[in-house]
Amino acid sequence: MFREIFEEELARKTVFKDPGKLLPDYVPKALVHRDEEFRQLTRVFRPAIESRVGQRVLITGSVGVGKTVLAMKFGEELAAAAKKRDMRLDFIHINCRKQRSPHMIMQELANRYLKLPPRGFSPEELLKESTRWLEKHDAYLALALDELDFFIQQNGPDLLYSLTRSGEELGALGRISLLAIARDQSFLRSLDAATQSTFMHNVVQLDRYSAEQLADIMNARVKEAFKVGVVEDDTVSLIADIAARWGDARLALELLWRAGMLADNEGTSAVTPEHARKAKAEVHPEVRKEALGELQLHEQLALLALARRLRISERAYALTGELETAYRVVCEEYGEKPRSHTQLWGYLKRAEELGVVDLRFTGKGRRGLSQKISISVPDVPVAVLEGELERLLKARSKA
C-alpha cells in the first residue's frame, strides 16, 4: 500500500524543475542587486591576495537581505581568485547560532585540517594547532562567522579576540581573515577598543530590498526552480509586495516555494496569486477580524466586492473601475444604494489605514490615474476574507 502511494506521488505532475533552488542554503551563480556590496568586499580583500595580509570585514543588515549568501558567494570567488594566483586560500562558513560555544567553533575549524579527538583540547589550543597547520602548508583562511552578534551576546568576546590575534605568538600574521556577519554594529560595543577598530573601518551594510528588487530576485530563481511559464507574473508581483514590507528575500522565496507546493497539491499547472495568498496565510496565519469588524457597512461591502473580484479574476490586483462594477453588484445583493466614486475611494483609504488593503498607482484608467488594489495585511486567501465579510454582514443584518 505504502509503495503504491509512494509511486503514485512520484508520478504526479509538478510545477517544479528544482525546488532546492528556493531553499535558504542555496547559493546562486549570480547575486541579484548585490553587485556594489560584492565590489566593496573585493576592495577590502584585495590586499589578502596581492600582499597576503589578513583582512577583517563586518557585513550587517536585517533578516533576509542576503548577508549569508553574499558572504558565501564572495568566499567562493575569493578562493577561486587566490587559486588562480597559485595561492591556497580556503573559505569556511560557520553559523555561530548552531555552533554555540567557542569549543564547537574551533573544533569545526580544526576538523578542516587536522584529525583531532573531539575532547582534550581547549578552544585556544585548537586555534593554535589550526594556525600552525596553515603556516606549515603556506595556506590562508577566510573564516566567515555568521550570527556573530548572537554568539558574543551568549559567550562574550574572547573567541573573537583570539581570532583577531591568531598567529602573533607563532609569527604567522595574516593567515586568517575574518568576515563577521551580524544584524547591526551594536555588538561591537562589548569588544575592546583594539578589536573594535579591526572591524569598524570595514563595514558593508546591506539595505532592505525594495519590491522591484525582490521581484527581480524571484524571477531569477523562477527560471532555476520552476518549469517554464508556470509561475504567473502577478504571483511574483504580489509576493514581492508582501515581502517588501520587511525587505526580506528569504520570506519572498519561502512564499514562492510554498505557493508552488500548494499548486502541486491541487494538481494545477500554474502558480497563481491565490496560491501566494494561501502561502502567506501558512507562514503567518492571521485574519484580522477585529480590523474587519471596525469597518462601516459600505466599507465592508466595498471590501467584499474587492475580494470577489480578485477571486473570480484570479489576479493579484484590481483596478478601481473594475471594483466599482463589483461594488454595485454587491450593494444590489444586500439591498443597499451604491455610494459615489468619491465615497468609495474614501472606504478604500479607510481599509488601507486599518491594514486591510494596499493601494498603488498604476497610471492606467480612463479618468486620470486609476488605482491598483491588492489584498495586503493580513494577506489571507481572498476566499477566507470573502467568507469572513459575509459572516460579518449577515450578523449585521440580524442586529
Whether 61 has a pLDDT exceeding 60, the answer reads: yes
**Which pTM value belongs to this model?**
0.77
- 252-295 pLDDT, tens digit each: 999 999 999 999 999 999 999 999 999 988 875 555 566 787 78
Domains with residue ranges and CATH for the chain: 34-205 (3.40.50.300), 210-283 (1.10.8.60), 289-398 (1.10.10.10)
Rounded to 5 degrees, what are φ and ψ at 145? Answer: -110, 100
For 318, 345, 359, 370, the CA distances from 364, given in Å and listed in that order, are 11, 16, 14, 5
Select from 346, 352, 393 the least CA-distant residue to 375.
Answer: 352
The per-residue pLDDT for 304 is 94
CA geometry: angle 202, 203, 208, nearest 5 deg: 160
How far is 72 from 66, CA to CA, in rounded Å?
10
- 148-184 pLDDT, tens digit each: 988 998 898 888 888 887 756 655 568 999 999 998 8
Joined together, the cell numbers standing for residue 155 give 559567550
Whether 120 has a pLDDT exceeding 90, the answer reads: no
Buried b (16+ CB within 10 A) or exposed e, 303-333: bbbbbbbbbeeebbbbbbebbbebbbebbee
Whether 76 has a pLDDT exceeding 80, the answer reads: yes
Average of pLDDT values for 43-55?
94
User: pLDDT above 70 covers what percent of the chain?
Assistant: 90
The per-residue pLDDT for 375 is 47
pLDDT band at 377 (very low <50, low <70, confident <90, very high): very low
- 209-253 pLDDT, tens digit each: 999 999 999 999 999 999 999 999 999 999 999 999 889 999 999
Mean pLDDT estimate for the chain: 88
Average of pLDDT values for 321-346?
93
Average of pLDDT values for 115-124?
81
Rounded to 5 degrees, what are φ and ψ at 349? Answer: -65, -40
The per-residue pLDDT for 63 is 86
The per-residue pLDDT for 254 is 94
The per-residue pLDDT for 378 is 42
CA geometry: angle 314, 319, 324, nearest 5 deg: 105
Select from 234, 235, 236 the least CA-distant residue to 219.
Answer: 236
Average of pLDDT values for 76-96?
96
pLDDT band at 324 (very low <50, low <70, confident <90, very high): very high
Which has more confidence, 191 or 354?
191
- 366-376 pLDDT, tens digit each: 554 556 665 44
The per-residue pLDDT for 97 is 84
Whether 364 has a pLDDT exceeding 70, the answer reads: no
The per-residue pLDDT for 12 is 80
